[in-house]
A and B are shown apart, each in its own frame.
Chain A
Amino acid sequence: MADPMKIRAQLQGDIADIKVLMFHPMETGLRKDPVTGDVIALHFIQRVVAAHNGRTMLDAQWSQAVSKNPFVNFRIRGAKPGDKVTVSWEDNMGEKASIETTLN
């Protein structure tokens, strides 16, 4: 099974630039299967939390309007080498994923 997420972190001075790619279908619930005609169920990331050394820096509530394979880019001030940045998501079907990176 491929990674559910990929993360890249760059430290410039005391600002960490974090880029995260999440692999998720982000179905709107409005599409129909071209073969069966059935509606493809609503399936989207509902919440994204980013933490820096355990402290929540970003807490986002998303909707089905966000596109497939969402890309997030954010910056944290006051970062130093060795710090841990964690990004996790949870979707409307209860699935979760999390990724952690150490700044260098």
Chain B
Amino acid sequence: MNAVLVAGLALTGAAGQSFASPEQDRAAFVALYREKFPAVPLENYVNGALMFSRDAQAQFDSIMEFPPFLGDIDRGKTLWERRFRNGKSLAGCFSNGGRSVAGNYPYYDSGGDEVVTFEMQINRCLRDNGEAQFKYDDKATMGIVTAYARTLSDGMRVDVRVEGAAALAKYEQGRKLYFARIGQYDFACASCHMDNAGKILRTEILSPAVGQTTHWPVFRGGDNLNTLHMRYRRCLEQMRASAFPAGGEELNNLEYFHSYLSNGLPMRASIYRK
């Protein structure tokens, strides 16, 4: 019943008309998953595929007691607090030194008519202070600085806003991509993460869309830093589709839509993943 509802929303969205509000989309996704997995509390969705396996969750909790990537997070802190030539720092560009801010990203910037992610805001800070910007897929700069900076918002509830027609248009772009069948396999994000969440694909359990954006970056195998956009790109490659550039408009809009689905859920950055 609910699958039909969401698919119906998808069809109308793909046709280019917006019948549903972001809140209706989010509610439809949540209802779909609650029907499939009635025993899982909503707060648990931040754990992704781990929510389907008690053993995997226990292993994760054990590793997270003392994760191997603490050294990388320290290096991120150094980069976050490093003084620019003009004496300012990345920490200074954000309110409260960056504490409890990440949940408000991405946001729509009407001035530039673009979606701004947390990573993009970091680059704006660098640009505005005469410093070289970071490449969005560079683990050594954007990767490790967000590995630290995003942890300053641990526990913060996702609070992405889509207000006004222009913002909604960007949200709809992201939503359209989410449901678009692309690549050699003709898969959409929704093919796996909406329709088949909880099932196994290539030995791994597919995670649901709700909660997916709350926990980035991740350290795969404990030492392979992946940001959200790096993961989007890898997913697209695995779908045998051309991967959009990290930090580009397509993935920014996708993140805008995708993050909205996790509104209300607690964030936790820099976690372990297989």
Contacts and interface: CB of A to CB of B under 8 A. Distances in A.
Contacts of B113: none
Interface in B242-259: none
A26 to B, nearest CB: 11
Contacts of A23: 71
Interface string B58-81: 000000011010110011001000
Contacts of B71: 2-3, 23, 69
A-B pairs, top 10 by smallest CB distance, nearest first, are A23-B71, A69-B68, A2-B74, A19-B66, A2-B71, A21-B66, A6-B70, A8-B66, A2-B75, A21-B70
Contacts of A21: 66, 68, 70
B81 to A, nearest CB: 13
Nearest to A19: B66
B66 A6 contact: yes
A6 to B, nearest CB: 6
A68 B71 CA distance: 12
Given A2-B71, A2-B75, A3-B71, 5 more contacts: A2-B78, A21-B68, A23-B71, A68-B223, A69-B223
Interface in A18-35: 19, 21, 23
Interface residues of B, number: 10
Interface of B: 65-66, 68, 70-71, 74-75, 78, 222-223
A93 B15 CA distance: 64
A69 B65 CA distance: 15
A28 to B, nearest CB: 15
A12 to B, nearest CB: 15
A8 B68 CA distance: 13
22 contacts: A2-B71, A2-B74, A2-B75, A2-B78, A3-B71, A3-B74, A6-B66, A6-B70, A8-B65, A8-B66, A19-B65, A19-B66, A21-B68, A21-B70, A23-B71, A68-B223, A69-B68, A69-B71, A69-B222, A69-B223, A71-B66, A71-B68
Interface residues of A, number: 10
Residue from B70, B71, B222 with most neighbouring chain A CB atoms (10 Å) = B71
Contacts of B222: 69
A30 to B, nearest CB: 18
B177 to A, nearest CB: 33
A89 to B, nearest CB: 15
B220 to A, nearest CB: 14
A16 B141 CA distance: 38
A45 to B, nearest CB: 14
A63 to B, nearest CB: 19
Nearest to A21: B66
Contacts of B65: 8, 19
B254 to A, nearest CB: 31
Nearest to B71: A23
B80 to A, nearest CB: 14
Nearest to B65: A19
Interface string A64-104: 00001101000000000000000000000000000000000
Contacts of A2: 71, 74-75, 78
Contacts of A3: 71, 74
Contacts of B66: 6, 8, 19, 21, 71
Nearest to B68: A69
B170 to A, nearest CB: 39
A68 B223 CA distance: 9
B179 to A, nearest CB: 38
